[in-house]
Each structure stands twice: as C-alpha cells, then as structure tokens.
Amino acid sequence: MVNQRDRVIQYLRDEGSITRAEAFTELGIVELPARICELERLGYEFKKTIIKKRNRYGDPIRFMRYELA
C-alpha cells in the first residue's frame, strides 16, 4: 500500500516541486509540512523556497515550495 510519504516523493520526482496547495488538490494530503518533516527524519533532504504572491483579494501571502535537494 502506498502511503502519503511515498506519494509526496513520487510527486516530487515527477513534477520537481510541491506546495501545500498542490499536495491537497493533487494528492489529498492536508498536512504537507508534517510529511516533509517525517521524510527528513528518514534521510531525505529538501530545498525550501518561500514564495511571495498576492491572493485574489490583493492581500500578500507567503507559502513554501519544496524540492528534493
């Protein structure tokens, strides 16, 4: 059986990076940061980039984009 960590790693290998929104919409994973933390404990290394944008109301938002290092 494939678990959420496996899905995250496969998505990263296929797509190159992932955000929390992508994890939710594409994989059904609500707590991506928790899965990333678990993967780090298993020895995976990630490049983490803070993305700054504006939401549909024009408010500034920030979120993390993860890539395999």
pLDDT in tens, 9-65: 999 999 999 999 999 999 999 999 999 999 999 999 999 999 999 999 999 999 999
pLDDT at 1 over 90: no
- State the helix-helix crossing angle for 4-15 and 32-41, rounded to 10 degrees: 90
Q: pTM, whole model, 2 decimals? A: 0.90
Measured CA to CA, the distance from residue 30 to residue 7 in angstroms comes to: 13
Q: Predicted confidence band at 2 (pLDDT cuts at 50, 70, 90)?
A: confident
